[in-house]
Structures are given as C-alpha cells and as structure tokens.
Amino acid sequence: MGREGGYVVPVDPGTGTGGGLKKKGAGSRSWILMDSSGQETVLDVDKYAIMHRVQIHARDLRILDPLLSYPSAILGRDRAIVLNLEHIKAIITAEEVLLRDPLDDNVTPVVEELRRRLKSVNSNHEDGKELLAHNDVENGEEDESPFEFRALEVALEAICSYLAARTIELETAVYPALDMLTSKISSRNLDRVRKLKSQMTRLTARVQKVRDELEQLLDDDDDMADLYLSRKLAGASSPVSGSGAAGWFLATPTIGSKISRASRASVATVRGDEDDVEELEMLLEAYFMQIDSTLNKLATLREYIDNTEDYINIQLDNHRNQLIQLELFLSSGTVCMSIYSLIAGIFGMNIPYTWNDDHGYMFKWVVVFSGFLAALTFVLIISYARFKGLVG
C-alpha cells in the first residue's frame, strides 16, 4: 500500500524478517518495527515518515544513515532514543523499536534476540483470554524494566558481544603470526603482522568510541534521565496526541494502551524519585565493564605486538652488528693484503737495476717477510678492535 513515499509490509510470523523479501542494496531504507507485544512489521519508508512517527529531528536521523560515517552515539530525545552503535542503528520509543536494515547479516542476530525476548513475555497466550490476562499481570510483576531499557539492553549486549568476538578472532590470528615472525623474520611474516596491526588499530578505535559513549552517559545523570521514555509517558499530565502517527500506520496501538502499558512497565521508577537513574545506571555499568574488558584485551594485544616489535628490532640490530664486524674483518684483511701486494709490485716491476743481479736467494725471504708483516698487521688491527670492544 503506497503512502507518503513508502509502503508497509507485514511480516509473516512463520518466516520472520526474511519471508518473501529480497535483500536490498547499501542504500536500502528498510526498517523493521517491533512493539512490546512482539508484533513485527517490515517498513520501507522515507526519512520524513520516520521523523513524523517518532518525533525526532533530521539531524538525529542523519546519524543513522549507513552511507555517512558517524561515531557511536546514544541520544535521548523527548519521545525516542536514537541509537547508533556500529552496525546497529535503531530508534527506540516507549512502546516500539525501529531497527534499520534488518536483513543485514550483522543486524539479523539483533532482530532474532529482540524477537525472542519480546515474544517470551507473551509466550503463553494460547490458552484463552483468562490465561492471557493472568500472564499479563505476572509478566508485569516479573519484568519491571521499561520497554526501552529491554530494547537498549539487547542492542548493548549485541554490540558488546560483536566487538568481543572480533577481538577474540584478532587474538587468534595475531599470536601465531607474532610467534612465526619471531622464529623467522621474513617479508611475508612482516607484511602479515602489519595487516593484523592495522586491523587491531581500527578495532581499538571502534571499541573506544562505544566505551566513551557509555562513560559519557554514566557521568551525566541528566542524559540518563532523558532515556526514561516510559517515565515521561506515564508522568505526562495529558495524553499525547497520536493522530499523526496513526495517520500513516494503521497497526499502531492506541495512545491509551501505550500509556497504560508504559505505566505498568515503569511502575518502579514512577513511584520513586523522578531523578532516580539507578536502574539505567546499573544496566549501563554492566555493559561498560564488558566493553572496557574488551578494550583491555586489545591494549594487552597491542602491548604484546609492541614487545614483539622491540624484540625484532633487537634481533635486527644484532644482525647489523654482526655484519659490521664482518665488514671490519674484511676491511682489515684487505689492508693487510694491500701491503703484501705493494711489496710484490715493487719487486715485480720490469726495471733493470744492478742490485738484483746474483741475489736470487732473496726471493723467498722477501715473500716470507711480506706475508709475516701482513699477518702481523691484521692481528694488531683485530687486537685493537677487541681491546676497544668493537668486536665480540
């Protein structure tokens, strides 16, 4: 059904997000919408429809554009949380979550986990209306976390697990490569380690951005309070008009049901202090520690690479010193042989002179004396070099 530049495609519950849909290219505007009851809908709409539905600005939606490079960010707005964590680009409201590019290989696990957690709340609805109502009460009592926190937790868990897995893969490749390089220094091994080090640098920067974003949230209570969407919705003095949202998407729940479910989901926080952010702080702290642990692994890996580079440089310096020593021996031998050659050249000149007559027996003594003088000069040079510590 065409409407405002987009269309709505309900998802077949038996096939999930992939049923009857073809994977789109890099410029796809595909979104998947999941509400608190676990209902799913795949959307293909433009940015104006998304902005109109969740009431966010264009600059907030711009950071979710996969064609633009923006650092990781978790932004709290009046009615939504804008989430940009690597490949996870989502908009979370008090009652639904919009996830971009659900057919992406890295996003599919997030969709599956969201589906599992949201549908587990209503897993026993098949026994009738009485059992449905009973389960609603039980679920409300068992899980007091607001919907936006459950969705945020899934995204944080997914990105932390993803980065931890990439770190483990990098460790698995780096340690054998470094061991091979230390055993045999070659251009091939050096190039392999160089590529792995480049990968580690890029991965460290990505992990650092996520960690800095979580740390920034934890350091500011006002930013954390902005993420309590259910508290804002439940504490509103008057119902919020939803005609704009319902105008283009007919399956949207009524505002009254939203307020009632949001009130039940955030009962623990609404009854307490409105400035209390302990629940969210504990959630963020847990994943902050996890991402910090991943960053520490990368720091340890970098330290191991740096130590290996120092070891390789020491080995190369040692080889260079050995070559210098060899050059010293060869130069010393060349100087000594030049002395021998000088004497031989003098006596070998074809110039007639009288003192060479009847002195043929002197040839052997000249040869022996010249060889002895050359050898003695070589020994003196090497002894002086050893005395000065130039050779080992």
Q: Is 239 helix (H, G, I), strand (E, B) or coil?
A: coil
* Domain membership flag for residue 31: no
Residue 116's pLDDT is: 86
CA atoms within 13 A on the CB side of 339: 17
Domain span including residue 362: 322-388
Residue 121's pLDDT is: 56
* Domain membership flag for residue 266: no
Ranking 200-214, 316-330, 357-371 by mean pLDDT, the lowest is 357-371
* Domain membership flag for residue 317: no
Instruction: Report whether pLDDT(257) > 60.
Output: no
| Percentage of residues of the chain with pLDDT beyond 70 | 72
* Domain membership flag for residue 180: no
Q: Which of 40, 284, 259, 50 is CA-nearest to residue 153?
A: 284
How many structural domains are present in the chain? 1
* Domain membership flag for residue 17: no
Ranking 70-74, 228-232, 259-263 by mean pLDDT, the lowest is 259-263
More confident residue, 356 or 296: 296
| Mean pLDDT taken over the chain | 77
Q: Which of 263, 226, 279, 254 is CA-nearest to residue 35?
A: 254
More confident residue, 91 or 252: 91
More confident residue, 301 or 239: 301
Give tens-digit pLDDT for 92-146: 988 889 988 888 888 888 888 888 887 765 554 444 444 444 444 444 444 567 8
Instruction: Report whether pLDDT(173) > 90.
Output: yes
Cβ contacts of 100 within 8 Å, gap of 6 or more: 30, 31, 64, 66, 89, 90, 107
pLDDT band for position 57 (cuts 50, 70, 90)? confident
pLDDT band for position 358 (cuts 50, 70, 90)? low
Distances (CA, A) of 200 to 174, 217, 304: 9, 26, 12
Ranking 240-254, 262-276, 282-296, 300-314 by mean pLDDT, the lowest is 240-254
Give tens-digit pLDDT for 2-23: 444 444 444 444 444 444 344 4
pLDDT band for position 158 (cuts 50, 70, 90)? very high
Residue 139's pLDDT is: 47
CB atoms within 10 A of CB 114: 23
* Domain membership flag for residue 340: yes
* Domain membership flag for residue 350: yes
Answer for the pair 148, 229: CB distance below 8 angstroms, yes or no: yes
Residue 51's pLDDT is: 86
* Domain membership flag for residue 179: no
Ranking 54-58, 190-194, 197-201, 234-238 by mean pLDDT, the lowest is 234-238
pTM of the model: 0.69
Residue 250's pLDDT is: 33
CB atoms within 10 A of CB 174: 21
Residue 355's pLDDT is: 60
More confident residue, 125 or 232: 232
Residue 38's pLDDT is: 78
